[in-house]
């Protein structure tokens, strides 16, 4: 299922919402929650409201069906706390249920992240940048990356995440794909600003119909 959704008036849906294990986590109350409810019904994803210090749930969380990590609240009950000064975890981790590529900024936390996420982790970059979480988008079928990602970077990501398909794409002509998209193995939620050719390219790589 492919659909479109804005978050708090912004196309940066990937920064405001976070998907893991077939659930969409969001900071309540959510502006135009009726639209979010409809999106979840269409995609078959479960809507999970949480209370957090920020509405940018996707920015501060990363994870898969095996575990969720954040670096803001040590007392959080639904996501495991990681002791690091780099709190924008969603920017720094690209993962699925098979593996995770983490920013070099988190290399000292590699073992801790492997335990939390339940998958092997390797450090890497996309387009020479350390914000792999916002420059890539992954499910268990494939990975979409910034157009300037190198062949070496893509090979590392493909191997680590155990996928058959990997390729470049943009959203609204921007390579910050993860910031404007939510994906599961069966659903793709895009910024309303996404162009039709971009949607088609991303859906083909991630095997979303």
Q: Where are the domains of the chain?
A: 2-206
Task: Give the β-pairing of 188-190 and 2-4.
Answer: parallel
The continuous run of DSSP H or E covering 115 comes out as helix 110-117
Residues 198-209, mean pLDDT to the nearest whole number: 94
- Which tokens belong to 61? 């969380």
Tens-digit pLDDT profile for residues 65-120: 999 999 999 998 889 999 999 999 999 999 999 999 999 999 999 999 999 999 99
Q: pTM of this prediction?
A: 0.93
Q: How confident is the model at residue 31 (pLDDT cuts 50, 70, 90)?
A: confident
Tens-digit pLDDT profile for residues 121-163: 999 999 999 999 999 999 999 999 999 999 999 999 999 999 9
Instruction: Give the model's pLDDT for residue 81.
Output: 96
- CB distance 143 to 169 below 8 Å: no
Averaged pLDDT score across all residues of the chain? 94
d(CA 96, CA 139): 5
pLDDT surpasses 80 at 172: yes
Its sign, for the CA torsion 112, 163, 152, 133, is: negative
Instruction: Give the model's pLDDT for residue 16.
Output: 93
CATH code at 2-206: 3.75.10.10
First to last CA, the chain: 6
């Amino acid at each position: 299922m492919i659909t479109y959704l804005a978050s708090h008036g912004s196309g940066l849906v990937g920064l405001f919402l976070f998907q893991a294990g077939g659930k969409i986590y969001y900071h309540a109350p959510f502006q135009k929650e009726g639209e979010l409810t409809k999106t979840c019904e269409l995609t078959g994803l479960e809507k999970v409201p949480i209370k957090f210090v920020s509405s940018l749930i996707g920015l501060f969380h990363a994870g898969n069906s095996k575990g969720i990590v954040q670096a803001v609240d040590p007392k959080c009950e639904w996501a495991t706390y990681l002791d690091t000064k780099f709190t924008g975890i969603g920017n720094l981790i690209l993962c699925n249920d098979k593996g995770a590529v983490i920013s070099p900024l988190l290399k000292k936390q590699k073992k801790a992240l492997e335990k939390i996420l339940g998958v092997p982790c390797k450090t890497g970059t996309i387009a020479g940048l350390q914000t792999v979480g916002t420059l890539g988008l992954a499910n268990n079928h494939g990975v979409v990356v910034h157009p300037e990602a190198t062949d070496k970077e893509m090979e590392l990501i493909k191997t680590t995440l155990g996928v058959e398909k990997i390729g470049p794409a943009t959203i609204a002509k921007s390579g910050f794909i993860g910031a404007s998209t939510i994906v599961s193995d069966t659903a793709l939620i895009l910024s309303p600003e996404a162009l039709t050719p971009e949607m088609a390219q991303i859906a083909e790589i991630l095997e979303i119909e």
